[in-house]
Amino acid sequence: NAGVTQTPKFRILKIGQSMTLQCTQDMNHNYMYWYRQDPGMGLKLIYYSVGAGITDKGEVPNGYNVSRSTTEDFPLRLELAAPSQTSVYFCASSKGPYNEQFFGPGTRLTVL
Amino acid sequence: DQQVKQNSPSLSVQEGRISILNCDYTNSMFDYFLWYKKYPAEGPTFLISISSIKDKNEDGRFTVFLNKSAKHLSLHIVPSQPGDSAVYFCAANFNAGGTSYGKLTFGQGTILTVHP
């Protein structure tokens, strides 16, 4: 039981490049989330999903897209990377809205 | 506008003593609160939670207190251990008109250092 896994662990992008951050969970959770954490700040919600095929925006969705074709996977797509997207990205999943969220180890992204 | 605030960036305590971490919130639509612990280069891990209908929840060395009228919650760790040294985040779940999707708003975090 691996929990929530994220790939890659680290990535450096040039301005304008695109990439997909991968997130997979093996706990059969319906709810999945993407957060970003900037230095010295708390986590901010980018997008969330309450089940396969259902996604919605969080607090800071601009510059990102998501899809949820299966229960297990919730990839986050960055189009036209900008320096403001330099951050650590965390994926999380939970059984329901009032259950604890389990977090992945994070992806550290730098945009230069 | 920061809806969840942890006003103490850091806290230092001696091993065996009590650690008290504080969190304030402004939005009365928050109905469920959680504390997470985070070590460097790892994802946050869940510690303890409390529903807005309760004022206290206890789990081993960890107790969370909720004062709804003051919009304040605190995490007590007794006794504190060096392994508790980490960043602690409080988080609040938003409930809009009876519907919740687990959308959490996090505070900025408090760095706890427990000295041996």
State both tokens at A69: 């074709």
Which of B4, B100, B103 has the CB atom closest to A45's CB atom?
B103
**Sign of the alpha-carbon torsion through B108, B72, A32, B83:** positive
Amino acid A4: pLDDT: 97
Amino acid B99: pLDDT: 78
Determine the Cα–Cα distance for residues B20 and B37; give it in Å rounded to an integer.
Answer: 14
Q: Which long-range contacts (CB under 8 A, 24 or more apart) does A94-98 make?
A: A94/A29, A94/A31, A94/A33, A94/B102, A95/A27, A95/A29, A95/A30, A95/A31, A96/A30, A96/A31, A96/B102, A97/A31, A97/B93, A97/B100, A97/B101, A97/B102, A98/B32, A98/B51, A98/B93, A98/B100, A98/B102
CA distances from B60 to A47, A54, B50, B79 (A): 34, 38, 15, 10
Q: pLDDT digit string (tens) for A40-57?
A: 889 999 999 999 999 999
Amino acid A7: pLDDT: 97
Considering the domain B4-115 in this protein, what is its CATH number? 2.60.40.10
At residue A39 the predicted structure's pLDDT band, cuts being 50, 70 and 90, is confident
Report domain A4-111's class. mainly beta
Mean pLDDT of chain B: 94
Q: Say whether B43 and A44 touch across the interface (CB within 8 A).
A: no
- Chain B residues with CB inside 8 Å of A44's CB? 106
Amino acid A60: pLDDT: 96
At residue B94 the predicted structure's pLDDT band, cuts being 50, 70 and 90, is confident
Inter-residue contact B48 to B89 (CB < 8 Å)? no
Q: pLDDT digit string (tens) for B39-71?
A: 999 999 999 999 999 999 999 999 999 999 999
Inter-residue contact B10 to B68 (CB < 8 Å)? no
At residue B2 the predicted structure's pLDDT band, cuts being 50, 70 and 90, is confident
Please, what is the Cα angle at B3 between A36 and B62, to 5 degrees?
A: 80
Which of A45, A92, A98 has the CB atom closest to B32's CB atom?
A98
At residue B93 the predicted structure's pLDDT band, cuts being 50, 70 and 90, is very high
Instruction: Flag the least confident range among A67-71, A80-84, A108-112, B93-97.
Output: B93-97
| Short-list B113, B81, B60, CA closest to B16 | B81
Chain B interface test: which of A101, A102, A107, A108 (most B C-beta within 10 Å): A101
At residue B25 the predicted structure's pLDDT band, cuts being 50, 70 and 90, is very high
The domain locations on chain B are: 4-115
Which of B43, B44, B108 has the CB atom closest to A40's CB atom?
B108
